[in-house]
Amino acid sequence: MTTLTLDNVSRWFGNVVAVNDVSLTVGPGVTGLLGPNGAGKSTLINMMGGFLAPSTGTVTLDGAVIWRNEQVYRHIGVVPEREAMYDFLTGYDFVLANAELHGLPHPAAAARAALSTVEMEYAAGRRIETYSKGMRQRVKMASALVHEPAVLLLDEPFNGMDPRQRLQLMELLRRMGADGRTVLFSSHILEEVEQLAHHIEVIVAGRHAASGDFREIRRLMTDRPHRYLVRSSDDRALASALIADPSTAGLELDLGERALLVQAVDFARFTQLLPRVARENGIRLYEVSPSDESLESVFSYLVAA
Ligand SMILES: Nc1ncnc2c1ncn2[C@@H]1O[C@H](COP(=O)(O)OP(=O)(O)OP(=O)(O)O)[C@@H](O)[C@H]1O
């Protein structure tokens, strides 16, 4: 079982619409679920993992409805974002408990194998309260993997990891994706998703905003209108020279800031135009800085597109 399908899925909590009419399909390999904080990623993962019922729409695995379907739960592993664990247990006991919960025929062997997959055998006998953040993350992984699920869902798995732990986890997820498992992880960091995911789904404000490989998502992000703040020796002259070109969609003189705010619709053309126009008109450029590079503004553009 490997293909997760969401059909017109919404989920609300009282008046808050956390997920708004999302339809998407996630197949084998590594998929990144990208979106700013509060976009609805955890809610989506909880619905895919069978922890939460959709308010409307259906979430299925190879056609079988996930919610309250024990048969399907056997094929899914979830690594939640929250930190809380049973700290007084050893790593081994924690993983073993999940093996027993799944009714595995050889729970002890399964727990040991899962701990070895995440390279945690060496600390398996220690209590979780003595673990670092990265070790906790790995034990959560082992627990999610103990029944060898075909689908692995991870909520912000790289949060709080150091670079070495990050690389190790990326390697492990890559391997699982290459083995033909369906691996989906959420993140609010584009670079993280780009490095690992062969496919990206973008969620913003509960809505499905974009879908594609990292090149397509990058292109969507760089093709959007860019806003720049420009300071020069003659902002007025620069403004009148720039506005004549179709790559410039809007200009605003900010007298207080003593700067020019430029909206560029053709990113590549504008970056060549600006220095040329300045040179031809004898204007000196003191500062050119993007004024809307926050991830949030990139995301809002994608939603509006
Ligand atoms: N149990 C709940 N009760 C009320 N509101 C909720 C509940 N769970 C989520 N929400 C709301 O739904 C929206 C989406 O939350 P969600 O946790 O799914 O987003 P997220 O993309 O995972 O964000 P983050 O990365 O910050 O966890 C938010 O506005 C959140 O406050």
Domain shared by 115 and 208, yes or no: yes
| Residue whose C-alpha is closest to residue 289's, from 303, 274, 299 | 274
Domain shared by 109 and 157, yes or no: yes
Could you tell me the distance, in angstroms and rounded to a whole number, from the CA of residue 232 to the centre of ligand 1? 44
Q: Which pLDDT does position 302 carry in this prediction? A: 62
pLDDT at 30 over 60: yes
Mean predicted confidence (pLDDT) in 163-171: 88
The single-letter DSSP state of residue 74 is T
- Does the CB atom of residue 19 touch ligand 1 within 6 A? no
Q: Which of 188, 221, 254 lies at the terminal end of a domain, its last residue?
A: 221
Could you tell me the distance, in angstroms and rounded to a whole number, from the CA of residue 9 to the centre of ligand 1? 15
Domain shared by 179 and 271, yes or no: no
Q: Which of 179, 204, 221 lies at the terminal end of a domain, its last residue?
A: 221
pLDDT at 299 over 70: no
Q: Which pLDDT does position 61 carry in this prediction? A: 96
Domain housing 250? 225-304
What is the spatial distance between Cα 148 and Cα 20, in angstroms, rounded to a whole number?
A: 32
Strand order in the sheet with 64-65: 16-26, 4-13, 56-61, 64-65
| pLDDT tens digit sequence for 227-243 | 888 999 999 899 988 88
Q: Which pLDDT does position 170 carry in this prediction? A: 93
What residues have CB less than 8 Å from 220, skipping those under 6 apart?
A: 210, 212, 302, 305
- Does the CB atom of residue 41 touch ligand 1 within 6 A? yes
What residues have CB less than 8 Å from 167, skipping those under 6 apart?
A: none
- Does the CB atom of residue 18 touch ligand 1 within 6 A? yes
Q: Which pLDDT does position 52 carry in this prediction? A: 95
Domain harbouring 213, CATH code: 3.40.50.300
pLDDT at 84 over 80: no
Q: Which of 195, 221, 247 lies at the terminal end of a domain, its last residue?
A: 221
| pLDDT tens digit sequence for 193-236 | 888 999 999 998 899 988 988 778 777 766 666 788 899 999 98
| pLDDT tens digit sequence for 127-157 | 999 998 888 888 999 999 999 999 999 999 9
Could you tell me the distance, in angstroms and rounded to a whole number, from the CA of residue 157 to the centre of ligand 1? 17
What residues have CB less than 8 Å from 32, skipping those under 6 apart?
A: 184, 185, 186, 187, 192, 193, 194, 196, 197, 199, 200, 201
Percent of the chain's residues with pLDDT above 90: 56
Write down the pTM of the prediction: 0.79
| pLDDT tens digit sequence for 245-298 | 888 888 888 878 788 988 888 777 888 889 999 999 999 999 887 776 555 566
Q: Which pLDDT does position 127 carry in this prediction? A: 95
